[in-house]
């Protein structure tokens, strides 16, 4: 993550505010910053979404490819996450600088979506054992302002909601190789995915005894430890992670409190995100992208 230089005085100021449940921008410890969501920005992709969480900006695109299913799961499709930290966000991401962070984030997202409950991969199967869909989920990080993984998970869920997979039919088979035909877009034969159970990841930063939801970059620089929890809409936790070098005391109540708070916040975030996506899909506003 981009390094923020904070003086001791600034850190103390943030700490004192958090003790009184007031943060630098006036939020309470469990409030999110304003989130902007836009679907369908990338025309080349089957589905896309842009999430803007204050000054964290993430663009997620989903592209579908036909692939052979893995031998362990012959009747399931695949999800492949790829994260690209653009140098636009910070000069440290130039060249291969952002690769380590990108790999970590991609691995975290893969784990969050690993359970069959969050995303049913069998809907991606075309012909059992022979052909399946592979969804390539590509995340482009344009600006880092804290809560990066939260924005990425929201973007992924929204992009999956925006994704339409063309319907496939088999038109011929010949000696073990199949010929598949993709229905034309003009035909209107595209099916949406079942994205409703996809998880949202929530990051909680621990500052003394308080837990901060959606920490800004400055607050993240003060916090000793963080906890990332993937929460699906039915209150289930799909993954947890403690990034960086922080730690939680094993017998303190902070950890349990953190998990409970994360599930709480996660469920509310999922509901709000679903509502926003539905609103976007019904109203269908003209795409503005970066021009507004």
Partner 1 sequence: MAGLQLLSEYGLRVDGRRPNELRQIRCKMGVFSQPDGSAYLEQGNTKVLAAVYGPHEVRLNRSKTHHDRAYINCQFSMAVFSTSERKRRPRGDRKSQEMDMNLNQIFESAIRTELYPRSRIDIYLEVLQADGSNFSACVNAATLALIDAGIPLKDYVCSCTSTLAPSQGGAPPTPMVDVNHVEETLGGPGLSMSTLPRLDSVVHLELSGTRLHLSHIDPVAEKAATGAADIMAVLDKAVRGHVAQCLHAREVSGQGADA
Residues at the site binding partner 1, with contacts judged by CB under 8 A:
2, 42-45, 48, 55, 57, 59, 61, 63, 65, 82, 84, 86-91, 94-96, 136, 138, 140, 142-145, 289-291
Q: How far is the CB of 291 from partner 1 (least distance, A)?
A: 5
133: Cβ contacts below 8 Å, ≥ 6 apart: 64, 65, 66, 67, 77, 78, 124, 125, 126, 165
Answer whether 56's CB lies under 8 Å from 143's CB.
yes
Q: How far is the CB of 59 from partner 1 (least distance, A)?
A: 7
Q: How far is the CB of 21 from partner 1 (least distance, A)?
A: 27
Answer whether 154's CB lies under 8 Å from 35's CB.
yes
Q: How far is the CB of 162 from partner 1 (least distance, A)?
A: 13
Q: How far is the CB of 190 from partner 1 (least distance, A)?
A: 17
Query: Measured between alpha carbons, how far apart are the two ends of the chain, in Å?
Result: 27
Smaller CB distance to partner 1: residue 91 or 172?
91
Smaller CB distance to partner 1: residue 82 or 255?
82
Smaller CB distance to partner 1: residue 137 or 207?
137
Smaller CB distance to partner 1: residue 135 or 231?
135
What is the rounded CA–CA span in Å between residue 154 and residue 39?
Answer: 12
Q: How far is the CB of 46 from partner 1 (least distance, A)?
A: 10
What is the rounded CA–CA span in Å between residue 256 and residue 251?
Answer: 9
What phi, psi does 57 have (nearest 5°)?
A: -125, 125
Smaller CB distance to partner 1: residue 60 or 267?
60
195: Cβ contacts below 8 Å, ≥ 6 apart: 119, 157, 160, 161, 163
Smaller CB distance to partner 1: residue 120 or 290?
290
């Amino acid at each position: 993550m981009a390094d923020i230089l904070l003086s001791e005085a600034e850190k103390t100021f943030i700490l004192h505010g958090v003790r009184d449940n007031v943060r630098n921008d006036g939020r309470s410890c469990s409030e999110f910053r304003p989130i902007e969501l836009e679907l369908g920005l990338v025309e080349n992709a089957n589905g896309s979404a842009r999430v803007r969480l204050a000054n964290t900006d993430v663009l997620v695109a989903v592209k579908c490819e036909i692939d052979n299913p893995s031998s362990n799961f012959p009747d399931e499709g695949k999800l492949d996450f790829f994260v690209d930290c653009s140098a636009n966000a910070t000069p440290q991401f130039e060249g291969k600088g952002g690769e380590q962070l990108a790999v970590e984030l991609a691995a975290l997202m893969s784990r969050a979506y690993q359970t069959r409950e969050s995303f049913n991969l069998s809907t991606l199967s075309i012909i059992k054992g022979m052909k399946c869909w592979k969804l390539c989920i590509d995340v482009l990080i344009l600006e880092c302002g804290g809560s990066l993984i939260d924005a990425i998970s929201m973007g992924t869920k929204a992009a999956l909601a925006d994704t339409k997979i063309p319907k496939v039919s088999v038109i011929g088979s010949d000696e073990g190789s199949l010929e598949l035909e993709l229905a034309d877009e003009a035909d209107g034969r595209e099916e949406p995915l079942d994205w409703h159970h996809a998880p949202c990841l929530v990051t909680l930063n621990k500052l003394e005894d308080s837990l901060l939801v959606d920490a800004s970059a400055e607050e993240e620089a003060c916090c000793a430890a963080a906890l990332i929890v993937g929460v699906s809409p039915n209150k289930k936790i799909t993954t947890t992670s403690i990034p960086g070098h922080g730690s939680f005391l094993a017998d303190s109540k902070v950890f349990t409190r953190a998990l409970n708070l994360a599930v709480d916040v996660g469920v509310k975030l999922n509901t709000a995100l679903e509502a926003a996506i539905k609103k976007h899909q019904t109203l269908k506003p003209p795409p503005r992208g970066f021009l507004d």
